Homo-oligomer: A and B are copies of this chain.
Amino acid sequence: MNFNKTTEYTLRILSFMSLNENMLYSAIDLSDKLKIPYRYLRKQMNLLSKQGFIESIQGKQGGYKIAKSLTDISLLDIVNATENYSKENMCFFGFQECPLQNHCSMHDKWGEVRDKTFAILKTTTLQDLKQDNSALILTSK
């Protein structure tokens, strides 16, 4: 939603792949199912592999599979793999360093949203998504 495209792609890919944890998914298949440009997906899978989210099997009949336990991959992990979504860039007005002596009113107001966002991302794992969504995703149009 507020993420960049690569993050959105990655969220889709890993969610989808977690539906069959041990299955090998080929890039062309993922690209097709998830409507992600093939070559861009290839590049991204490469990174995800290096980062340890997935492992790849080369050669004919090769593909990718999730490399860790689903409970060990939170949505925050995924988001942080592709963009900097840190709690540190917290100024509503985008100041690197707060120019005020005390907090402005947006600081706390927005802080609530920020905290809730992080809580959701941090506590939701691929396992949760799998459990909650499998039926839905499997019946996708």
- The distance from the CB of A96 to the nearest CB of chain B, in whole angstroms, is 9
Interface status of A99 (Cβ within 8 A of chain B) = yes
How many chain copies?
Answer: 2
Q: A1-B90, A89-B1, A113-B120 are in contact. Are A141 and B100 (CB under 8 A)?
A: yes
Residues 90-113 of chain A: 1 if any B CB is under 8 Å from the residue's CB, otherwise 0?
111111000111111110011011
Q: A101-B141, A120-B109 are in contact. Are A93 and B12 (CB under 8 A)?
A: yes
The residue in chain B whose Cβ has the minimal distance to the Cβ of A138 is B100
Q: A105-B132, A116-B112, A129-B106 are in contact. Are A100 and B137 (CB under 8 A)?
A: yes
Q: A5-B94, A11-B93, A116-B113 are in contact. Are A129 and B141 (CB under 8 A)?
A: no
Interface status of A8 (Cβ within 8 A of chain B) = yes
Q: Give 18 pairs: A residue, B residue, CB < 8 Å, sorted on A.
A: A1-B89, A1-B92, A1-B110, A1-B114, A7-B94, A8-B94, A11-B92, A11-B94, A35-B95, A99-B140, A99-B141, A100-B140, A100-B141, A101-B136, A102-B136, A104-B136, A104-B137, A112-B116
